[in-house]
Structure 1
Amino acid sequence: MDPSERRDPETAGTGRLILHEFESARGMLAGLAYRLLGSWHDAEDVLQDAYVRWSAADRTDVAEPRRYLTRVVTRLSIDVLRTRKARRESYTGEWLPEPVPSDALELEDISMALLHLMERLTPPQRAVYVLRTAFTLPYDEIAEILDRTPEDCRQLHRRALHELADDRPRFQPSAAEQRRLLLDFVAAARDGDLQRLEHLLKDSVTSWTDGGGLRRAARKPVVGREKVANFFTHIYAHADLTITPVDLATGPALKIVVRGNHHVLTVDTDGTRITTIRVLANPEKLGVLAVEREGAREGVDGGPGAVEGQA
């Protein structure tokens, strides 16, 4: 028996209950925090802070632990989004959501594309959108969580939908189709086959690269079939690549090593051609995928940013 249980069994029992109630909701809370933040690192910090607050909460005022914890995690996430906005202004290059393996976080109806798009929302808009769309909470409950009126929350949701409407992907391929498309894309670029590569790309295709200043990377999106095809043949053509398919919480991806540089590649499609490509090369965002970090601060040539400036 734990010595603390012999000294104070009632306190020990309460501690076990506190932990049990939190762990019972942890999967839901992790999904909520990741949807709100697009960062697994930030989501874990929020969960730790939420547990500290939960441990110190007055139980007499908590009728439903999951509801209470949802409110705490949402409000903490909004605080992070607000402070992160200032940090984002000094971020080097483009910012992309952090990839998380599917065995660490089980999510439905979420994609890297949607997480990326949600960056354009204000923190309250993002919170209402996630709580309403992903968790189907009624507006009166969302209002309680955000300390706003139900009508305010309806308006925030309408604005979020309007902001996302034009660019939200309309087509979601099967996991098998997406894996095939990823492999076909990399194979064409590695072979230096521009004709085959361009056939896979939509005219208006856009490529985003996130190196975070720790890798050489294109600091602006690369737009257009020809530019994108040239960009990736420059990186992959006739290179010795290590390609590992990975299942992220947001869908299939490839983990690629080229000339000592590591990155994660994801694509969006309209059902016929690739519309968006995302290259996540910032080593600080790849730790959860157990990607090696050697050379992370040396800016080794040959990585996704080898044609830096061609945006």
Structure 2
Amino acid sequence: MTAGAASDAVADFDPLRPRLVRVAYRMLGSVADAEDVVQEAFIRWMAADRAAVREPEAFLRRTVTRLCLDQLKSARHRREVYVGPWLPEPVVEEDEEAEDVTLPLMLALERLSPLERAAFLLHDVFGLDFEEVGATIGRDPAACRQLASRARAHVQAGRPRFQVERKRGLELAEAFFAASRSGDMSALGTLLAADVSMHADGGGKRSAAPEVLLGLDHVMKLHRALAVLYGKHGSALVRLGFINGLPGFVTREADGELQTTALDIEDGRIAAIYVVRNPDKLKHLH
């Protein structure tokens, strides 16, 4: 390959990289795995007969999706033996645009087969027609329509029913941080829904509740205990922001490690709390 040809190949690929990473991340739920897949797609792009490729974006999207489908087979097994609740790696938004796939929706996608997940994301999220979806995942358009329809029926619960205004979401996140860290249980109780749930992903590498906590009493009991620890050892706010489309914050905990907390808000109250503590899932935030 000549230097000019290589330069042209890189110039064609680089503008597409962020979108390809978005596709891969939504398929895999892992920032590191998504970046690895996109890098493998880049290697294949450099080795391909690019003169025969009419649409580089379609070619690369197909390559990335197929690599993700292969990866999901082993990922499913890894999650079956995962210690405690599994959450996707947190992505903290750097801009003002709302995330198109929120954390609850990503958890709902986990219940789908790899092909259902691909069909749903490519059609419903990224807006491809079923002809292109079929070409991407190697199925005919009618089959892809059925895959997406089945997926849609399964993930409706993951769609946000109430869209919280961004400023109000951040205000609630800040109030939750203040109440939970100061031990103001009265203030904390006013922020939480009666059926609030708490999901904490420590991956067996940092302490975390081994199961999802359900209901106000259980969540409040845990936070009373945590408030004692915060009082002794501290918990520093790094930044407020939107984490996988939900208002939340990043903190540095007493052990020096980062932690993310994302809040799903319904009817003005916190309906679910998602905490990622597994250090392997937080490396990209450093």
Q: Which residue in 2 is equivalent to 1:197?
A: 188
For residues 202-221 of structure 1, what are the structure 2 equivalents within 5 Å? 202-221=193-212
How big is the shift at 1:254?
1.1
Counterpart amino acid of 1:39? S
Q: Which residue in 2 is equivalent to 1:112?
A: 103
Q: Which residue in 2 is equivalent to 1:6?
A: none
2:196/2:219 contact within 8 Å kept: yes
Q: Which residue in 1 is equivalent to 2:67?
A: 76
SS at match of 2:210: coil
How big is the shift at 1:249?
6.0
For residues 1-311 of structure 1, what are the structure 2 equivalents within 5 Å? 11-103=2-94, 108-237=99-228, 239=231, 240-248=234-242, 250-251=244-245, 252-260=247-255, 261-290=257-286
1:101/1:288 contact within 8 Å kept: no
Tell me, in whole angstroms, the C-alpha distance in 1 between the residues paired with 2:7 and 2:253.
Answer: 48
Q: Percent identity?
A: 38
Counterpart amino acid of 2:259? H
Tell me, in whole angstroms, the C-alpha distance in 2 between the residues paired with 1:98 and 1:172.
Answer: 22
Tell me, in whole angstroms, the C-alpha distance in 2 between the residues paired with 1:103 and 1:187.
Answer: 23
CA deviation profile, 1:16-42 (whole Å, cap 9, x unmatched) = 111111102112111111111111011
Tell me, in whole angstroms, the C-alpha distance in 2 between the residues paired with 1:154 and 1:262.
Answer: 41
Counterpart amino acid of 1:285? K
Tell me, in whole angstroms, the C-alpha distance in 2 between the residues paired with 1:11 and 1:80.
Answer: 33
How big is the shift at 1:246?
4.0
- In the alignment, structure 2 segments of 5+ residues that lack a partner are none
Tell me, in whole angstroms, the C-alpha distance in 2 between the residues paired with 1:162 and 1:17.
Answer: 43
How big is the shift at 1:92?
1.0
CA deviation profile, 1:21-65 (whole Å, cap 9, x unmatched) = 110211211111111111101100101110111111122431110
Counterpart amino acid of 2:8? L
How big is the shift at 1:156?
0.7
Tell me, in whole angstroms, the C-alpha distance in 2 between the residues paired with 1:222 and 1:285.
Answer: 21
Deviating above 4 A after TM superposition, structure 1's stretches of 4 or more consecutive aligned residues are none
SS at match of 1:202: strand
Tell me, in whole angstroms, the C-alpha distance in 1 between the residues paired with 2:222 and 2:66.
Answer: 41
How big is the shift at 1:85?
0.6
CA deviation profile, 1:185-214 (whole Å, cap 9, x unmatched) = 122223323332222111111100000111
How big is the shift at 1:233?
2.5
Counterpart amino acid of 1:22? F
User: Alpha carbon RMSD of aligned pairs, Å?
Assistant: 2.0
Tell me, in whole angstroms, the C-alpha distance in 2 between the residues paired with 1:232 and 1:254.
Answer: 17
Tell me, in whole angstroms, the C-alpha distance in 1 between the residues paired with 2:57 and 2:259.
Answer: 37
- In the alignment, structure 1 segments of 5+ residues that lack a partner are 1-9, 291-311
2:107/2:158 contact within 8 Å kept: no
| Alpha carbons of structure 1 residues 99 and 129: separation in structure 2 relative to 1, 3 Å | same
How big is the shift at 1:82?
1.3
Counterpart amino acid of 2:33? D
CA deviation profile, 1:149-198 (whole Å, cap 9, x unmatched) = 11111111111111111343212212221211112112222332333222
Highest CA radius of gyration, 1 or 2? 1
Q: Which residue in 2 is equivalent to 1:302?
A: none
Counterpart amino acid of 1:173? V
* TM-score when normalising by structure 2: 0.92
| Alpha carbons of structure 1 residues 127 and 17: separation in structure 2 relative to 1, 3 Å | same
SS at match of 1:217: coil
| Alpha carbons of structure 1 residues 258 and 103: separation in structure 2 relative to 1, 3 Å | closer
Residue correspondences, number: 281
